Amino acid sequence: MGFKENLRDEISYQGLLIKELAAKAGLNAGSISNYLKENSSIPSADIAVKIADALNVSVEYLVTGKKTTAKNEKTYSPDVRKMADKLESMSTRDRTIVGSLIDSICKNPDD
């Protein structure tokens, strides 16, 4: 994935509107929208830094989808983070059930 996909995923994950991100970054909402378009280019470094700071992620993450972390620290994509957020809101009983389901699926994957 590239900049626009990672930007789109992060905006969605954080539940932001484009105009909210633009305000946080000190940019025009139209500029943010342009970076999300099909044939868009990556913004200049100074603009990318403003966007990344407003989202509290690194520019590297927006460009590559990879977070800068400690050597052995695992990072997760926005869809996995959404699932983790939902798991945290579940009761211990429900998390146990979901964990068992995941274990079952991983042991017997469909081909």
Number of residues assigned to the chain? 111
pLDDT in tens, 13-39: 899 999 999 999 999 999 999 999 888
Residue carrying the six token digits 């989808």: 65
The whole-model pTM stands at: 0.64
Report domain 3-64's class: mainly alpha
The reported pLDDT for the residue numbered 77 is: 75
The runs of H, that is alpha helices, within 15-58 are 18-25, 29-35, 45-55
Cβ atoms within 10 Å of 107's Cβ, excluding its own = 7
Sole residue written with tokens 């699926």: 105
Please report, for the chain, the start and end positions of each structural domain, with discontinuous segments joined by +.
Answer: 3-64, 78-107
